């Protein structure tokens, strides 16, 4: 895996390049979720050193720990490469794509500016004592390490549940 940190305005973005010959359903979203936990310092040094191999090793971890996957919105599949196959794009299609992406970028920048102005015009809640007295504080859930969480059924347990034999 390759990590690259990018500054975009006031936000820091992380680009992750993951190469593989195949991926399981939602595997990348699960990997990114664990990487976020590691990045926030919520996971131990053990997870740092063995991730993602321990979670993919069915001998060591026969059941997937339960945790919330990373949202799909910021994740982008940028390319797929195949041996002996090269995709090409006509000049017209490339120009149309470029124009479409430019228009989308402008639309999102406009929407971001509108939301930013809305945020600036909001009244600060800290200064309004009437609101503070009625406001309840949400208790933050404590973090449970990945390998200490409840697990999902193993592959064999799922097959047994549906009465399927090994192929």
pLDDT tens per residue across span 65-85: 888 898 888 787 777 778 888
DSSP 143: P
Q: Give the list of residues 6+ apart from residue 39 with CB closer than 8 angstroms, or none.
A: 14
In a domain, 153, yes or no: no
Residue ranges making up the domain that contains 117:
87-121
| Bridge partners for 114 per DSSP | none
The count of structural domains within the chain is 2
Residue 8 has pLDDT above 80, yes or no: no
Asked whether residue 128 is assigned to any structural domain, the reply reads no
Residue 31: CB atoms within 10 A of its CB come to: 20
44 and 12, same structural domain?
Answer: yes
DSSP-derived 3-state class of residue 40: coil
What is the Cα–Cα distance from 28 to 30, expressed in whole angstroms? 5
31 and 38 in contact (C-beta within 8 Å)?
Answer: no
Q: Are residues 30 and 55 located together in one domain of the fold?
A: yes
Q: Full-prediction pTM beyond 0.85?
A: no
């Amino acid at each position: 895996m390759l990590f690259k940190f990018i500054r975009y305005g006031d936000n820091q973005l992380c680009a992750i390049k993951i190469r593989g010959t195949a991926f399981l359903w939602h595997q990348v979203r699960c990997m990114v979720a664990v990487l976020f936990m590691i990045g926030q310092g919520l996971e131990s040094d053990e997870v740092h050193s063995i991730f993602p191999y321990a979670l993919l090793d069915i001998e060591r971890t026969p059941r997937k720990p339960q945790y919330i996957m990373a949202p799909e919105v910021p994740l982008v599949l940028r390319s797929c490469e195949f041996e002996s196959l090269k995709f090409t794009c006509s000049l017209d299609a490339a120009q149309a794509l470029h124009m479409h992406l430019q228009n989308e970028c402008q639309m999102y920048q406009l929407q971001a500016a509108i939301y930013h102005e809305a945020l600036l015009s909001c009244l600060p809640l800290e200064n309004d004592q009437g609101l503070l007295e009625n406001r309840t504080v949400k208790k933050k859930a404590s973090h449970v390490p990945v390998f200490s969480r409840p697990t999902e059924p193993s592959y064999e347990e799922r097959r047994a549940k549906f009465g399927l034999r090994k192929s």
